[in-house]
Structure 1
Amino acid sequence: MSLARVSTASGEEFAGRTLPVRPELRAVLPWPGLRRGATIALRGSTSLLFAILASATAEGSWAAVVGLPGLSVLAAAEAGVAVERMALVPRPGTQLGEVVAALTDGLDLVAFAGTTMISTAQTRKLAARVRQRGTVLLPLGPWPSADVELRCANGRWYGVGAGDGHLRYREVEVHATGRGAAARPRSVRMLMPDPGGPVALATGTGNARKDQHSPATLPISRATG
């Protein structure tokens, strides 16, 4: 893999340009895709991260995920991520900020866990760096200068009955807050995964009522989401 994607272009060259994103997520974004140079904090589910990465990597963009040693490449592939264009840095050690900064020089999307390890000064430098490089920064946790924060809540799995069946799909609420164009809160109900694919909108009174089995309310895990 080459890290030579980025030219010496200024941030103005990337203004208004976006990377593709799944249609189901456009309802909670203030842009028609993932705006280059933006910081989008993700909280509550690794499935949300996969949904964000899927369309961009499938259409040729390169991504990195830093600080998630338990990440399942198989789960990413099943969610539609082009894993051959996803670099993994499971354990960046104490140099998390430096590793993330280096990756923004060569990749289109950089996601990382361990946000509390990044100092305020590094936060400001990273924000300026991604704007200049046109990278989409995806902190997996609280990030004070995020343009948008997407948070999964109230996850419910369906398919398990009274001692029988298996988990088939999960309904979650995705809430968005942010600043500027994203200042108005938005939310959408989604199925991640959906019985027929990785992601779908939850419609009407909920696809779950069509299932004969009862819902199972389980905690949403950042590691396994």
Structure 2
Amino acid sequence: MGIGLDAVTALSPTGDFRAGEVLRLRREISRMQRRRSDDALLPLDPAFASLLPEEGLVTGTAYTVTPSPSLVLALLSAASRKGHWSAVVGMPTLGVEAAAAFGIDLSRLILVPDPADRWLAATSALAEVIPLIVVHPASRARDADISRLSARLRDRGCTLLVAASSAGEWPQSEGSIHIDDPHWHGLGAGWGLLSDCTVTVTARTRRAPMPSRVQVRLPGNRGLVEPLSVDVSSSERRGPELTALPSLPSLPSLPSLPSEASPRNTAPDHELSFWAEAG
């Protein structure tokens, strides 16, 4: 991870924050990455394909995402497996071992764990050459700085994932991707190990303002994104299953009654003649 370690050293709190170091980082990455992405979309894991109308992340835009390490790594994994570079800025708790478990190529991953107030400068420098960046802002950015960064994203074809929890939607955002209802599995009554976590991932975009949701294991048993085998949403749309009533015991057959249209005297002929004589 040679270049990634250089980036960490150049932009860590103990390093030198001079502008020359940021420019040096930019020059080093430029030698290893094209300056303009030709892809209109960056791929997503198949479990997330139905979330966005384009089935991928639109290049040159920004998305607001939940600052969850698992969600961040899941969103980076498909692009990394396709050979794209990626970077994470301002997330010191992000684990390299977890990134490898999601299938991310560590040799093409740049980590800037704690750039402090220089997070915007670091993100802007990386946007020159890196197609997919995650940033957790350490402070509020000015509108003018956000506009300049958005223009750079469009010019370079870079996609930015802004991990923001309390600041709300990132200005000029293409959409949002959030996780809700986390449920961890594997623990019993005082025993067991955490095995996997079931979450609901919700996405909204400008083209599709109505929320789209999928339920996945994030992470699954093997550390990857695993779609649930049972489609809970479809079963809710069908409604509750009806339970068949128990069969009733059969009733004894009743003698048939004469219908109103039948003649009133239905006795045999010899009985009729007997009553006539008696009368």
**1:157-208 CA-partner distances (Å, limit 9, x unpaired):** 01111122111110001111232x13221111111111245111123277xx
Residue of structure 2 in register with 1:117 after alignment: 140
Residue of structure 2 in register with 1:155 after alignment: 182
The 5 A counterparts of 1:43-58 are 43-58=66-81
Question: Which gives a bigger RCO, structure 1 or 2 (Cα 8 Å, sep 6+)?
Answer: 1
Q: SS of the residue aligned with 2:134?
A: strand
The whole-number CA distance in structure 2 between the counterparts of 1:37 and 1:147 is 10
The whole-number CA distance in structure 2 between the counterparts of 1:68 and 1:175 is 22
The whole-number CA distance in structure 1 between the counterparts of 2:195 and 2:71 is 17
Question: In the alignment, is residue 129 of structure 1 matched against residue 152 of structure 2?
Answer: yes
Q: SS of the residue aligned with 1:163?
A: coil
| TM superposition outliers: structure 1 runs of 4+ over 4 Å | none
The whole-number CA distance in structure 2 between the counterparts of 1:59 and 1:109 is 12
Residue of structure 1 in register with 2:227 after alignment: 201
Structure 1, unaligned stretches of length 5 or more?
207-225
CA contact (8 A) 1:64 1:110 kept: yes
Q: SS of the residue aligned with 1:103?
A: helix
**1:142-163 CA-partner distances (Å, limit 9, x unpaired):** 3132101101111000111112
* C-alpha RMSD of the superposition: 1.9
Residue of structure 2 in register with 1:146 after alignment: 173
**1:87-131 CA-partner distances (Å, limit 9, x unpaired):** 011121222211111100010111111264322221121111111
| Among candidates 148, 167, 182, match of residue 208 of structure 2 | 182
The whole-number CA distance in structure 1 between the counterparts of 2:230 and 2:64 is 28
Q: SS of the residue aligned with 2:50?
A: helix
* 2:163 maps to amino acid: L
Structure 2, unaligned stretches of length 5 or more?
4-27, 233-279
CA contact (8 A) 2:117 2:139 kept: no
Greater strand share, 1 or 2?
1
Could you tell me the TM-score, scaled by structure 2's length?
0.67
Deviates more, 1:102-111 or 1:27-36: 27-36
* 1:194 maps to amino acid: G
CA contact (8 A) 2:185 2:197 kept: yes
| Among candidates 39, 46, 56, match of residue 33 of structure 1 | 56
